[in-house]
Amino acid sequence: MTERLLNFLLDYGVMALVPVLLASAIGIPLPGSLLLVAAGAFASGGLLTLLPLLLGAIGATMAGNGIGYWIGQRGGTAALTRWGQRFHVGAEAIERADGFFTKYGRLSVILSRFPFSPLSAIINILAGTARYPPRAFLVANLVGVSVWATVYLGLGYAFAASWDIIAAILGGATQALTLALVVVILLILLIRAIRHHHEHEDDAHIVEVSPGEAAHAGTLAPSAPSEPKAGH
């Protein structure tokens, strides 16, 4: 498939790049990043024009990300609630996601474009589900996508002779960084869950020993023997 897409790119230029990047941004598994690096290399050789490729890549990817955001707004909440009930994730956890995007939404959107590109489609839906403000999403999306498209096209253009190696390095690096981020997040969640479990156990132990029971236990406890009075 990749070879066919490359031939398609050479034949039709930006018109071939746009639908691939649009579908890839929605979450369809297509080699959009690889194709973008290749497009930069082809532009370096004079086979394609760089500026239309850059503008087309930014526009198509932003549109795909916007569709993911819209999906999250329209159906994400209901789907997330059903998913949560199935896996015992309550409304409180969903509210935390909303709070997380209120606090870190812009940074999450920007970094999910680059270097944590594999998370992009998921972040789009989560942003829509959390009702992250559309204007803020648009601005963060534009910044992140512009950086991503410029880096990938630029590296392909600068290292045209070895663009395939550059694409492989970029793909491996983004996947490794994303995996490391997921592991860190899981560790944080695990630590919080263990702490919450211990706090719950402590609270349960305090409730078990109620004040009434403690007073009753005090009446049953043997009293200490009184000291003999000193004689006059």
Give the contacts of 124 (CB within 8 A, at least 6 positions apart): 25, 65, 66, 67, 68, 69, 71, 72, 112
CB count within 10 Å of CB 133 equals 13
Nearest Cα residue to 98 out of 130, 65, 145, 142: 130
For residue 104, being part of any structural domain is answered with: yes
**Secondary structure (3-state) at 199:** helix
Closest listed residue to residue 151, CA positions, set 119, 135, 173: 173
Domain count of the fold of the chain: 1
- Blockwise average pLDDT, block size 10, the chain, 232 residues: 87 94 91 92 94 96 94 72 51 60 79 82 84 91 95 93 82 74 65 65 56 51 51 44
Q: Which domain holds residue 89?
A: 2-207
Query: What confidence score (pLDDT) does residue 105 get?
Result: 78
Q: Which pLDDT does position 107 carry in this prediction?
A: 85
Instruction: Report how far residue 42's alpha carbon sits from residue 13's, in angstroms, rounded to the nearest whole number.
Output: 9
Residue 50 lies in a domain: yes
Is residue 224 included in any domain, yes or no?
no
Please report the pLDDT score of residue 185 as a whole number: 63
Question: Is position 223 within any domain?
Answer: no
Q: Is residue 231 part of a domain?
A: no
Amino acid 171: pLDDT: 76
Is the torsion defined by CA of 49, 52, 54, 56 positive or negative? negative
**Burial of 177 by CB count in 10 Å (0-12 exposed, 13-18 middle, 19+ buried)?**
middle
DSSP 3-state of 229? coil
Residue 77 lies in a domain: yes
Report how far apart the first and last C-alpha atoms of the chain are (Å, whole number). 111
Query: Is 10 within a domain?
Result: yes
**What whole-number distance in Å separates Cα of residue 9 and Cα of residue 127?**
32
pLDDT at 203: 59
> Tell me, what's the pLDDT at 132?
86
In a domain, 68, yes or no: yes
